[in-house]
Amino acid sequence: MGVEKGLQVPKVVIREDECKGCGLCIQACPENVLFVQKHFNRMGYHPAGYQGEGCIGCGFCFYQCPEPGAITVYKKGYVGEEVEA
């Protein structure tokens, strides 16, 4: 099922396996909804995580992150493929 009507609440998705734990997204987030996770990912980094709510879809984290595929930001009104968990 895709998102058809337009996403109501913005959302950030972090692909942990592509994250190098640099922390730049966390530093940049104006809403402080990103944090360093305790576990290690496959590369041995502590990946960034999303608290699960509070993202306003500003995209600051996306433009700070050096990894092309690590962060996806879905803004309010997004229509398209289903948003990953």
Partner 1 sequence: MAEKVLRKAESFYPLYERKGGAAPDVTHYCPGCGHGVLHKLIAEAIDDFGIRERTILISPVGCSVFAYYYFRVGNIQAPHGRAPAVATGIKRVYPESIVISYQGDGDLAAIGGNNILQAANRGEKISVFFVNNAIYGMTGGQMAPTTLIGQKTTTSPLGRRASNEGYPMRMSELIATLEAPIYVERVALTDAKNTTKVRRAVRKALKNQIENKGFSFVEVLSICPSGWKMEPTQAKEWLTQEMMRIFPLGVYKDRSDEIEEAGVQPTVFSAQDLQDSLNLPETDSASAKREPKTGVPEKYRNPRLKIAGFGGQGVLILGVGIAQAGMDDGYHVSWLPSYGPEMRGGTANCSVNLSSRIIGSPLVTQPTVLVAMNLPSLEKFEKDVAPGGLILTDSSLVDRAPSRTDIEHLGVPATKLADELGNTRVANLVMLGAYIAYTGVLDKDVVHSSLPRFIKRKALIDLNKQAIQKGMEFVSHQVKA
Name the residues that contact partner 1, by CB under 8 A.
7, 17-18, 20-24, 27-28, 42-43, 45, 58-60, 62-80
CB neighbour class for 21 (10 Å; exposed up to 12, middle 13-18, buried from 19): middle
Choose which of 13, 35, 58, 78 interacts with ligand SF4 (CB under 6 A): 58
* Residue (1 or 17) nearer to ligand SF4, CB: 17
* Residue (2 or 30) nearer to ligand SF4, CB: 30
CB 10 within 8 A of CB 75: yes
Q: Rounded CA gap, 42 and 66, in Å?
A: 18
Residue type, 65: C
Contacts to ligand SF4 by CB under 6 A: 12, 14, 19-25, 28-29, 31, 33-34, 48, 55-61, 64-65, 67, 70-71, 73
